[in-house]
């Protein structure tokens, strides 16, 4: 008997196909179909989505699941459950694992674990350089054959311009996007927060936004010279947004992402030295925050990505200078982003969902079409209530709980996450595909 799904009465929003209307969605054996026969309707699992938005499953092209080597923080199993709870059906994992994902063997190890343990579609990136050391190129052709969807030294920006240019030339040969964590490390040694009035007040070493702007500019020049697709990760600076805007206007193949935390918070939130607000790049000024929002609205910034970066409580529970950079992002991404962009009246739901569905898909080399509810595509579907208020607790599907939103009330609640036609999150807990709830 086929696995048949019939989602009824929802507000179906599919930005890739310019659809926003009340209607039904059908799936057979994990694939979207236009219609069901009478026989299929009689056998279908029916989900009443009245009062809910039915959207393509969310796609996050920037997560850290810490496996292999850092499984005290997160695993593919726990990270994928956090993704499902946040409405994400596809994620792209960064290669800053231990060992680094700089060879086909490590890539296969990650893919094997994902096949056993992930409840969502999980894609891998490979490194740009061996060991993410910035000294010699990783075997980019072999990584491409192993199935990576992009290359990046995420967390350690390639400092050598010559090496980055060579990486861009090789990546272009294989039609692989380059994703870059834009940071001139010579300007940020020992820095822990944005350079500005608040860093002076707190007595913490400031991190100039110019450290980002310089690398964004470098990448624009390299993309123009080589034709490489270079994606700027977690843009945080107003000047970087403007550089990206001018580059796109000139037809250069660059792109960028913004995180929910850079959209939601500013460096003023660090006034109590709370390490849950310590991240890389750091939270910046109100001016920078407004520039990020404007960049999304005018298309300069292409998508929202979480930079989900789990750390243990004991790692974060120390002096601000010594705490690691990074916060959780997956389980609060929808609500936090809705607060800033939709509930504020800055945009509509269809535009908003484009930044979390089909637009990120276009930036990486995904092996299947995702981010749409078009017939013939995989039935990855998220149901959510954009108006339901909830208070962020201190328990997560993630193995860690380093979230700055703990205790805050947000609006926007994921009610069901469906991967390949099967429910993996029922609004309260993960659903085991084989044996029910787990």
- d(CA 396, CA 27) in angstroms, rounded, equals 30
Which residues are CB-neighbours of 189 under 8 A, at least 6 positions away?
none
> Quick check: is 307 catalytic?
yes
What token pair was written down for 277?
């607000």
> Is residue 27 within 8 Å of 379, Cβ to Cβ?
yes
- To which residue do tokens 């609004």 refer? 427
Secondary structure (H, E, C), 386-414: EEEEEECCCCCCCCCCCCCCCCCEEEEEE
List the structure tokens of 212: 């980002």
d(CA 419, CA 336): 23
Q: 45-48 and 4-14: which strand pairing?
A: parallel
115: DSSP letter = H
What is the C-alpha separation between 376 and 32, in angstroms, rounded? 5
Tokens linked to 149: 């969807």
Is residue 91 within 8 A of residue 121, CB to CB? The reply is yes
What does the alpha-carbon distance between residue 299 and residue 147 come to, in Å, rounded to a whole number?
Answer: 29
Tokens matching residue 117: 């343990």
User: Could you give the C-alpha distances from 297 to 235, 258, 289, 329, in angstroms and in order?
Assistant: 14, 12, 13, 21
Catalytic residue among 60, 154, 307, 380: 307
Q: Apex CA 414: angle with CA 412 and CA 420, to 5°?
A: 145
Peptide bond into 68 cis (omega under 30): yes
- Distance between CA atoms of residues 266 and 139, nearest Å: 39
The residues that are catalytic are 307
């Amino acid at each position: 008997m086929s696995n048949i799904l019939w989602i009824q009465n929802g507000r179906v929003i599919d930005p890739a196909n310019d659809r926003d209307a009340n209607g039904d969605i059908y799936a057979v054996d994990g694939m979207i179909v236009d219609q069901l026969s009478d026989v299929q309707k009689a056998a279908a699992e029916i989900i009443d989505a009245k009062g809910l938005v039915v959207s393509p499953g969310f796609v996050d092209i920037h997560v850290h699941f810490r496996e292999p080597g850092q499984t005290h923080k997160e695993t593919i199993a726990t990270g994928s459950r956090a993704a499902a709870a946040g409405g994400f059906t596809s994620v792209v994992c960064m290669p800053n694992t231990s060992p680094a994902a700089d060879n086909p063997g490590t890539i296969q190890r990650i893919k094997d674990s994902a096949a056993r343990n992930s409840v969502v579609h999980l894609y891998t990136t490979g490194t740009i350089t061996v060991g993410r050391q910035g000294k010699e190129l990783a075997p980019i052709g072999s990584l491409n054959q192993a199935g990576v969807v992009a290359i990046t030294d995420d967390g350690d920006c390639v400092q050598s311009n010559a090496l980055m240019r060579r990486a861009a030339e090789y990546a272009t040969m294989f039609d692989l996007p380059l994703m870059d964590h834009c940071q001139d490390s010579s300007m940020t040694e020992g820095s822990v927060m944005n350079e500005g009035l608040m860093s002076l007040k707190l007595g913490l070493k400031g991190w100039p936004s110019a450290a980002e702007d310089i690398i964004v500019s470098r990448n624009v020049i390299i993309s123009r010279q080589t034709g490489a697709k270079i994606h700027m990760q977690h843009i945080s600076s107003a000047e970087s947004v403007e550089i990206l805007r001018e580059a796109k206007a000139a037809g250069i193949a660059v792109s960028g992402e913004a995180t929910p935390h850079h959209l939601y918070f500013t460096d003023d939130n660090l006034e109590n030295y709370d390490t849950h607000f310590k991240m890389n790049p750091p939270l910046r000024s109100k001016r920078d925050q407004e520039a990020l929002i404007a960049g999304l609205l005018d298309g300069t910034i292409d998508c929202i990505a979480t930079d989900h970066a789990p750390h243990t409580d004991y790692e974060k529970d120390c002096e601000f200078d010594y705490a690691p950079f990074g916060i959780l992002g997956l389980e609060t991404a929808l609500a936090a982003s809705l607060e800033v962009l939709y509930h504020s009246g800055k945009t509509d739901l269809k535009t908003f969902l484009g930044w979390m569905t089909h637009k990120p898909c276009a930036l990486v080399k995904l092996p299947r079409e995702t981010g749409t509810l078009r017939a013939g595509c995989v039935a990855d579907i998220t149901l959510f209530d954009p108006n339901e208020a909830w208070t962020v607790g201190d328990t997560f599907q993630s193995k860690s709980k380093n979230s700055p939103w703990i205790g805050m009330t947000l609006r926007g609640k994921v009610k069901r996450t469906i991967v390949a036609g099967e429910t993996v999150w029922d609004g309260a807990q993960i659903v085991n595909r084989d044996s029910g709830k787990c």
